[in-house]
Structure 1
Amino acid sequence: MTATPELRFPEFGLDWRSKLLAKPSDFSKGKGISKSDIHDGGATPCIRYGELYTEYGEIIDETVSCTNVDPINLRLSNGNEVLVPASGEVAWDIAVAACVMRPGIALGGDINILHTTDDGRFLAYYIGGKLKPNVARLAQGNSVVHVYGQQLSSLNVTIPEIEEQKKIADFLKAVDKKILLLRAKHDQLTRYKKGVMQKIFSQEIRFKTDDGSDFPDWKFKRFDEVFSFLRTNNLSRATLNYVSGNIFNIHYGDIHSKFQSRFKLSDEIVPYINTDDVPMKITEEEFCREGDLVIADASEDYADIGKTIEIVDLGGKRVLAGLHTYLARPDVEQAAKGFYGYVLQTFEAQLQIMKFAQGISVLGISKGNLGKINIPHPHPDEQQKIASFLSMLDEKVRAVSAQIDRMQTFKKGLLQQMFV
């Protein structure tokens, strides 16, 4: 059987050929390298199977781990091997592959190692892309799933001649490099913002008035001196949907998992309440306003308790704070829009919230205790300058995140269109 991909470099014209991925004898297994065997500055670079999920993409040029285990007890790479994890928690997650480029790298246990004369990079992209559903179907098990070299060897693949394989792999590697550069830029901006926030809220950095004079010294107030709490609805997720309705709802689970700290309705995927199906008595005061804080009052994680989003842009829509949330509305004479959402992101505010958190498996904080935390209270004009500056940094971070998403979507399309 012959075939050609949907997207192809014009200099190649030969049909692709179908074959089995490999012979069972082309597969071997890595040798166990335990966590205690990992040493910074160890003599032998190594790859453990869990790192195939967390640390690497389809091509491994450099490793993140080293070991001092005697090489005689290790399985060392020759270069161009394709690595597929032999176990994992979810069938879909186990369907990944990476090509180790260098010789002399120790390959840990629970790794299927494919020794091939094809371009290993090409096969890694193929297995983790077009072949991913086929690999996932091979996985067996319940709490832990497994896939074996003998199973992988039975996969049908359709591949070009080696030169076209190399051309495709080189192109996809260039796309990956662009994504890595964008991620590095994102990390750099995020670290910069974190450092600047620390300096601003420690008052190492101060802003000036428009005429260049100093703002007054900062004061500190209790949270409930600046904010008042309003009623929120208690609808469960079962009453919500992401398709249609006439009111948007901010559910505490989405605060933890989906929403940005600065809430713009145009940027978020928000569930609806359909009030035709769920009759509710809602006063106009209970709808979120720009400048409001919506605070999650429960979490399983100390570091996440009291996670807060600030409403900065509703786009003219109606939004309610929902289950396990507090809606805190500022005194507009005391609080500039956009400022206190940043305050509650600071380590000092989070530490106070964690001290008040109560519970065992699930942690919670009461309105009374939340109202007791001390928050900085600069002059409102200085608040606005701080908020505007940090908002500008957020927009830069958000723009790079959008670039990363677009590049990842582009790559995903390539992995479907450049393979058969």
Structure 2
Amino acid sequence: MEAAVEITTEVKNVPALRFPEFNGEWKEVRLEDICDTFKSGESITSKDIADSGEYPVYGGNGLRGYTTKYTHDGFYTLIGRQGALCGNINRVYGKSYISEHAIAVSTNNSSDTEWLAQKLDYMNLNRLSESSAQPGLAVNKLLRLKLKVPVLHEQQKIASFLSAVDEKIKQLSKKKELLKKYKKGVMQQLFSQQIRFKDDRGNAFPEWEEKKLVEVLSEHKGRNTDLAIEEVFSVAKEKGVVNQIEHLGRSYASNDISNYKVVYPDDVIYTKSPTSDFPYGIIKQNKLDRIGVVSVLYAVFKPVNRNIGLLLDYYFSSWVNTYNYLNPLVQKGAKNTMNINNSDFLNGRRISLPSSLEEQEKIANFLTSIDSKINHTSKQLEQAQQFKKGLLQQLFV
């Protein structure tokens, strides 16, 4: 990956960051001036799209499936043109069927298709969608768009550089997904006892025991009456217990949080509010090393030990396990409120848990180590994405 160097100039229409062999202003053109192809794809019905086949079918959000014929052959940038996918940028290579939900774009000899894909993505075309019940992008309107363009060789250098960054982001995304898939598979085998740890002497641990939550959790009823605790927590499906402002961007807490429930490190929280994939709420352990408070709508419990709380967090990270446990207990009220008292929550069906403290710790440490790898990869991915965002701001005019 070649480095771009920053230059100081007062000349108009040049980027803040540039490869050293280039100089001079970028010229302003209309999008139609640099495109060889700029046209919506062709209609195709769902019955003509299969899970496998000879040619891939692409729409506004990427791959839709496969079919027996193709409409395009080569490298094209795709622009999503309808609904929530307006302005979404994808790429296709080789023979493919491009549907009417996407605009197929290729450049003429004066420009580079990959450079244009990066530029259009940076321009956030969604902002140009027509205001209506079904937002859309008009081809003729897009063709009249003005943009600043460097010479072809500079376009190619920029495209190659950004493609290398994209490849790094792609690799980190794939690594993260593989780790998450591995963790999910391992958890299924651990909780079904297909995989068992042995003690440090190589002996088998005792059999697991069927437990009700009331046997391993006790309800916390402490309130923030003296307002000694200022930090308000939220509970998120992926991140678990987090600072509310960091998670949501601002505070949604009441002006008076004296009645909020106190949450200590290792406590288990049940949200009692629906979220995607979890229609009866989510159950998470506070893995933060600090005390906070949560809304009175949440239920807070102290586990018999940290590792049991952690194992419950992992067990209920599965939407299937959470659904099967809560479905017999919850009655949905108006506005999707969860009608379930804390006693019923604690006295649901029995869950199989390791009886040995040593085995509990081994499982918890093993799964925590996988989480550490996922979190490390997530941070690397976020840094790479922020790096690219900064590059785009400086490499384009």
Taking structure 2 as the reference length, what is the TM-score of the superposition? 0.83
Relative to structure 1, is the Cα distance of residues 311 and 3 closer, same or farther in structure 2, using a 3 angstrom cutoff?
Answer: same
Q: Following superposition of structure 1 onto structure 2, how do residues 35-184 of structure 1 map, counting pairs within 5 Å?
A: 35-49=46-60, 51=61, 55=62, 65-68=65-68, 76-89=71-84, 94-102=86-94, 104-117=95-108, 118-129=111-122, 131-132=123-124, 135-184=125-174
Q: Which of residues 19, 23, 26 is equivalent to 1:16?
A: 26
Aligned to 2:27, the other structure's residue is in SS state: strand
Which residue in 1 is equivalent to 2:258? 280
1:373 aligns to 2:349 (yes or no): yes
Which residue in 2 is equivalent to 1:240? none
Measure the CA separation in 2 of the matches of 1:281 and 1:27. Answer: 60
Residue 67 (structure 1) shift: 1.2
Measure the CA separation in 1 of the matches of 2:258 and 2:107. Answer: 64
Residue 99 (structure 1) shift: 4.1
Measure the CA separation in 1 of the matches of 2:243 and 2:204. Answer: 36
Relative to structure 1, is the Cα distance of residues 84 and 394 closer, same or farther in structure 2, using a 3 angstrom cutoff?
Answer: same
Amino acid in the other structure paired with 1:88 = G
Measure the CA separation in 2 of the matches of 1:111 and 1:323. Answer: 47
- Structure 1 portions without partners, runs of 5+: 56-62, 235-244
1:357 aligns to 2:330 (yes or no): yes
Residue 337 (structure 1) shift: 5.2
Deviation sequence 1:347-405 (CA, Å, 0-9, x none): 44542223333227726243233212312332222212211111111111111111111
Aligned to 2:310, the other structure's residue is in SS state: coil
Which residue in 1 is equivalent to 2:6? none
Relative to structure 1, is the Cα distance of residues 274 and 137 closer, same or farther in structure 2, using a 3 angstrom cutoff?
Answer: closer
Measure the CA separation in 1 of the matches of 2:253 and 2:149. Answer: 51
Relative to structure 1, is the Cα distance of residues 401 and 181 closer, same or farther in structure 2, using a 3 angstrom cutoff?
Answer: same
Q: Which of residues 7, 20, 45 is equivalent to 2:17?
A: 7
Which residue in 2 is equivalent to 1:241? none
1:341 aligns to 2:313 (yes or no): yes
Name the % identity: 27
Which stretch of the first structure deviates more once superposed, 380-389 or 265-274?
265-274
1:255 aligns to 2:236 (yes or no): yes
Relative to structure 1, is the Cα distance of residues 79 and 197 closer, same or farther in structure 2, using a 3 angstrom cutoff?
Answer: same
Which stretch of the first structure deviates more once superposed, 150-159 or 223-232?
223-232
Taking structure 1 as the reference length, what is the TM-score of the superposition? 0.79
Measure the CA separation in 2 of the matches of 1:400 and 1:99. Answer: 25
Measure the CA separation in 1 of the matches of 2:215 and 2:32. Answer: 70
Relative to structure 1, is the Cα distance of residues 161 and 323 closer, same or farther in structure 2, using a 3 angstrom cutoff?
Answer: farther
Relative to structure 1, is the Cα distance of residues 162 and 215 closer, same or farther in structure 2, using a 3 angstrom cutoff?
Answer: same
Relative to structure 1, is the Cα distance of residues 377 and 394 closer, same or farther in structure 2, using a 3 angstrom cutoff?
Answer: same
Which residue in 1 is equivalent to 2:3? none
Measure the CA separation in 1 of the matches of 2:213 and 2:358. Answer: 19
Residue 255 (structure 1) shift: 2.7
Residue 274 (structure 1) shift: 7.9
Residue 336 (structure 1) shift: 4.3
Amino acid in the other structure paired with 2:314 = Y
Residue 5 (structure 1) shift: 0.9
Measure the CA separation in 1 of the matches of 2:106 and 2:12. Answer: 24
Residue 301 (structure 1) shift: 5.3
Amino acid in the other structure paired with 1:128 = D
Which residue in 1 is equivalent to 2:393? 416
Amino acid in the other structure paired with 1:366 = N
Which stretch of the first structure deviates more once superposed, 400-409 or 34-43?
34-43
1:298 aligns to 2:273 (yes or no): yes
Aligned length: 375
Alpha carbon RMSD of aligned pairs, Å? 3.1
- Structure 2 portions without partners, runs of 5+: 1-10
Relative to structure 1, is the Cα distance of residues 115 and 255 closer, same or farther in structure 2, using a 3 angstrom cutoff?
Answer: closer
Amino acid in the other structure paired with 2:239 = Q
